[in-house]
Structure 1
Amino acid sequence: MGFPGTWMTQSESMVYRVVPKCACSTIGQIMYYSDHGVFFDGDIHDATSGLHKWSMEDSQPRITANVKAHKSFAFTCVRNPYTRILSSFFDKICGIQRNGRRYRGNMVPQLIHRYGIEVGGDDGKQEFDQIASFRRFLLFARDTIRWKKPMEPDIHWSAMSGHVATFIANGGRYDHIFFTEKFNEGMQTVLDRTETPHKVDLATIPRFNESEGHGPKRAHPVEAYFDDLSMHLVYEIYKRDFQLFKYDFENPGNKMPLSEVDLDEVHAKLKD
């Protein structure tokens, strides 16, 4: 299985396990800049050079050798499950993607037909009942994760613990897991503990939110989208994420973690 979703700087200063919807565009650009002194021109997910990625065959032996020997500082970044699933809905379900089309072809028409979801019209910009549609999307997300129907779960709403676990299961060990909600603090720890060819000043780094503008703006506070039933569904899908990454299940309006991540606990619980 190897190390899917793993990126490494060409200088091998750091290794990062990507977790979708958790500041991965910004982290990838920081990694690229730390090696080359410039940002990648475009979406870092499209870069096919300047960064080692598991998805590129030539990079796999280098990543494997590094991770197995724990040669470099290894880290990942996580996010509150409530805001992450909301972000996935507005970006991937309601939004028009970089290629000018809907995400994953016929998935959105299928959702409209099967689950009665509205997405804001053809361009994602019309008004619609965001709360009702999001709650129906949650049912779909749960169905994909629990029963793999009507399709396999998508990486953007599958549990963070599943992404994080593959790195551990195949012999990797994290030195740091930090929160999107405390991004500068967490990323600074990475930079303080690595030697990079180019110095990175986090205060001047732009945020590369590649999903921004894809879909409609969220019209309500986070907690408005989650009634008792939808909180139950979220817990059914993301129970392990709440427990391991210390987020507040009881209060969808509290996006901040309740404590730091216990790395030993994460490794112990996700190694199998």
Structure 2
Amino acid sequence: MGFPGTWMTESESVVYRVVPKCACSTIGQIMYYSDHGTYYDGDIHDATSGLHKWSIEASQPLIEGNVKAHKSFTFTCVRNPYTRILSSFFDKICGIQRNGKRYRGNLVPLLIQKYGIEVGGEDGKGEFDQIASFRRFLLFARDTIRWRRPMEPDIHWSAMAGHISTLIANGGRYDRIFWTEKFDEGMQQVLDAIDTRQPVDLKAVPRFNESEGHGPKREHPVEAYFDDLAMHLVYEIYHRDFELFKYDFENPGNKMPVGEIDLDEIHAKLGD
């Protein structure tokens, strides 16, 4: 299985396990900059050089050797499950992607037909009942994760614990897991722990939010999208994420963590 979703700087200063919808574009660009002194021109997910990625065959033995020997500081970043699944809906389901098309081709027509979801018309800019459509999408996300029907679960809404566990299961260990909601503080702790070829001033880093502007703006506060049934579905999908990364399941309106992340607990529970 190896180390899917794992990125490493060319200098091997740091290793990062990508978790979709958790500031991964910004983190990738910071890693790229820390080696080269410039940002990648374009979406960092498209870069095929300047950064080692597990998806690049030539990078795999380097990443595997580093992670298994724990040669470099290794980290990842997590996000509140309520805001993460909402962001996935507006970006991936309602939004037009950077190639000018809908995400995954026939996915949106399938959702419209099978689940009665609306997405704001052809361009994603029309008015529609965001709350009703999101709750129907949540049913679909649960079906993909629980029963793998009508399709395999997508990386953007599958649980963070699942992404994070692959590195542990294959012999890796995290030195830091921080919250998107406290991004500057967490990323600074990573930068303080490593030696970079180029100095990184976090205050000067632009936000590389590749999904911003893809889809319609969220019209309501987060908690409005989650009634009792929606919360039940979210818990069914993400109960480990709430527990391990210390988010508040009881209050969808509170995006901030309510405890400290315990790395030993994460390695014990995700290493099985």
Same fold (TM over 0.5): yes
Distance 2:29 2:14 in 1: 13
Distance 1:158 1:131 in 2: 21
Structure 2 equivalent of residue 162 of structure 1: 162
Query: What is the Cα deviation at residue 202 of structure 1?
Result: 0.3
Distance 1:260 1:36 in 2: 34
Aligned length: 272
Structure 2 equivalent of residue 42 of structure 1: 42
Structure 2 letter corresponding to 1:122: E
Any gaps of 5 or more consecutive residues in structure 1?
none
In the alignment, structure 1 residue 260 sits paired with structure 2 residue 227: no
Structure 2 letter corresponding to 1:12: E
Deviation by residue 1:198-243 (Cα, 9 ceiling, x = unmatched): 0000011011000000000000000000000000000000000000
Query: What is the Cα deviation at residue 19 of structure 1?
Result: 0.1
Q: Would you identify which runs of 4 or more consecutive aligned residues in structure 1 move more than 3 Å? A: none
Distance 2:109 2:19 in 1: 26
Distance 2:44 2:259 in 1: 31
Structure 1 letter corresponding to 2:115: Y
Distance 1:188 1:88 in 2: 26
In the alignment, structure 1 residue 132 sits paired with structure 2 residue 132: yes
Distance 1:222 1:157 in 2: 17
Structure 1 equivalent of residue 153 of structure 2: 153
Distance 2:261 2:210 in 1: 27
Structure 2 equivalent of residue 80 of structure 1: 80
Structure 2 equivalent of residue 51 of structure 1: 51
Query: What is the Cα deviation at residue 259 of structure 1?
Result: 1.4
Sequence identity (%): 83
Structure 1 letter corresponding to 2:60: Q
SS in 1 for 2:21: coil
Distance 1:81 1:68 in 2: 29
Distance 1:144 1:268 in 2: 27
In the alignment, structure 1 residue 171 sits paired with structure 2 residue 193: no
Structure 2 letter corresponding to 1:173: R
In the alignment, structure 1 residue 25 sits paired with structure 2 residue 21: no
Structure 2 equivalent of residue 106 of structure 1: 106
Structure 2 equivalent of residue 210 of structure 1: 210
For residues 3-22 of structure 1, the aligned pairs below 5 Å read 3-22=3-22
SS in 1 for 2:75: strand
Distance 1:117 1:2 in 2: 37
Structure 2 letter corresponding to 1:86: L
Query: What is the Cα deviation at residue 149 of structure 1?
Result: 0.1
Distance 1:258 1:123 in 2: 38
CA-based RMSD of the aligned residues comes to 0.3
Query: What is the Cα deviation at residue 32 of structure 1?
Result: 0.1
Distance 1:177 1:260 in 2: 10
Query: What is the Cα deviation at residue 66 of structure 1?
Result: 0.3
SS in 1 for 2:96: coil
| TM-score, normalisation: structure 1 | 1.00
Distance 1:120 1:145 in 2: 25
SS in 2 for 1:74: strand
Query: What is the Cα deviation at residue 127 of structure 1?
Result: 0.6
SS in 2 for 1:75: strand
Deviation by residue 1:123-144 (Cα, 9 ceiling, x = unmatched): 0000100000000000000000
Query: What is the Cα deviation at residue 260 of structure 1?
Result: 1.7
| TM-score, normalisation: structure 2 | 1.00
Distance 1:98 1:87 in 2: 16
Structure 2 equivalent of residue 184 of structure 1: 184
Any gaps of 5 or more consecutive residues in structure 2?
none
Distance 1:124 1:22 in 2: 23
Structure 1 letter corresponding to 2:117: I
Structure 2 letter corresponding to 1:15: V
Structure 2 equivalent of residue 61 of structure 1: 61
Distance 2:101 2:93 in 1: 11
